[in-house]
Amino acid sequence: MPYQPARITKGRFDAPVDRSAVAADWRGRGYSCGLFVDPPGREWNGFVHSTNELVTVTEARLELTVGGQRLVAGPGDEVFIPRGAVHSVKNIHHATTYWLYGYD
């Protein structure tokens, strides 16, 4: 598959986000589905994966930086992170952020 740049699809899933619906959708596209629960200000920096990754926020907001591109995701938004891209994730909400991630 040719290289695809990072992208955000606003409102990919209806809010409130149904985790099982996201998992089923992703499974159909060949992705796993896990959950992160991050307190305000939590950061995950400088990650690189050998697989593509999807991220969907279920509650609150995340800031993602993918190869220097800044994306802000809220409930129902889906972010595609291409394999090999250096990326970081930060909870920019004043409360706990719940978000799903999956790898192909």
Over 70: is that where the pLDDT of 17 sits? Answer: yes
Non-local (6+) Cβ contacts of 30 within 8 A are: 104
Half-sphere exposure of 38 (CA within 13 A, CB side): 24
Which fold is adopted by the domain 7-103? Jelly Rolls (2.60.120)
Q: What are the pLDDT digits (tens) for 1-16?
A: 566 789 999 999 999 9
Q: What are the pLDDT digits (tens) for 46-57?
A: 999 999 999 999
Cα separation, 74 vs 83, whole angstroms: 22
Cα separation, 9 vs 22, whole angstroms: 14
